[in-house]
Amino acid sequence: MACQSKSGSLRMPGQNSLVRQWTLLRILCCRRMGATVKELAQEAGVNEKTIRRDLETFQTAGFPLEETVGPHGRKTYRLSPTAAQPPLGFPLDEAMALYLGQRFLEPLAGTVFWEAANRAFRKIRGILGPAALRYVDRLGVAFYHSRFGAVQYAAKAEMLDTLTQAIADRQSVFLTYQSLRSTEPVTYDVYPYGLVYHLGRIYLIGWAPRREAIRTWRVDRMLDVQRAELQFPRPEGFDLEKYIYQAFGIYHGDEQIAVRIRFSRTVARYVKEATWHPSQKLVPQPDGSLLAEFTLGTTEEIKHWILSFGKEAEVLAPDSLRAALREELAEMSRYYTPVRELTRIQSHGQKSGARAPLPRSRENLLNG
């Protein structure tokens, strides 16, 4: 394990405690003669009091921290060599499976976790050897991790580290965020509960004191994250996994909306093959179609899901969702109406005194 960067130091001024402690663990693992508090403070670019708190944190967490008193009372610290290098002893098939799985960690590229994972994968490559690696690479061709729509988070590494530590410490953050609909970024006071990876994107789930509600933010839309001094109490009984599982995707709502959809026999089997929501009831019909029922807090995400099935799905209830889809489809149809037909509709509207609304791109086309 390398303890130094190319410049010969692992200085970390300005970095948050998670990154600092992670790097200190690396130093304590590989310094055979140990390191003093002063040396660790110089490496980290912080004061000695901070390092002592970090060492206490390691001891409390159960890390095998050894303290050695040398000549003139000089104290050094290191992690026990045998405990720091656990005898993992992976069988060949387990090592190959882990090596093949590295591509699924790519959303964390640029973070300290990705760096540690890469070191582990390098060790596995060394264990397997050239012949086994060639075999594994051939296996890898059979498995492809689609990155369609996925976001790369290397540029957000520091923000992810800050959020991770704030979640662990139950410390509020100031989050500067550029939402999809807003023209200017807004800074929020947020109590971060957890991070969720969903459909190629990482989301933060947390409490928004200003709105007095749990909200969701996309990490790739964050412009800045700063830890605040305020400690917040995590809600008793809150379970992030259960919270997400109850949503139709990632976003929650406060209502109880009964949704009924009829899927044609063409896609009925596909719909039956998966669990889309814990409330779902899927009832096959005599004609081969499928009746699906859900109880949801919001219909925004299921609306887009239904649209993905095109003519193979019909919403039976509620009327508000049918109306939303009807409006969406009407807007879409105008984009695909031939220009000649649009000209006729526009001319008819002018004669009757009412101008039919046209999509902006078609207005530009008609107006030259």
Residue 350, pLDDT > 60, answer no
pTM: 0.64
| Residues ≥6 apart with Cβ < 8 Å to 350 | none
Biggest CA pair distance of the chain:
101
Give 309's pLDDT tier (boundaries 50, 70, 90). Answer: very high
Give the model confidence (pLDDT) of 152-188 as tens digits: 787 888 888 888 888 888 899 999 999 888 889 999 9
117-130 core/surface letters (b: 16 or more CB in 10 A; e: else): beeeeeebeeebee
Give 90's pLDDT tier (boundaries 50, 70, 90). Answer: low
Give the model confidence (pLDDT) of 180-205 as tens digits: 888 899 999 999 999 888 888 889 99
Query: Which tokens belong to 139?
Result: 């296996």
Residue 2, pLDDT > 50, answer no
pLDDT the model gives residue 14? 43
Give 57's pLDDT tier (boundaries 50, 70, 90). Answer: confident
Higher-pLDDT residue of 115, 211: 211
Higher-pLDDT residue of 197, 136: 197
Helix axes 48-60, 37-44, angle to 10 degrees: 110
Lowest-confidence pick of 14-23, 30-39, 240-249, 330-339: 14-23
Overall average pLDDT of the 129-135 stretch? 70
Q: What is the mean pLDDT of the chain?
A: 80
Q: Where are the alpha helices (DSSP H) in 171-299?
A: 240-245, 265-272
Residue 360, pLDDT > 60, answer no
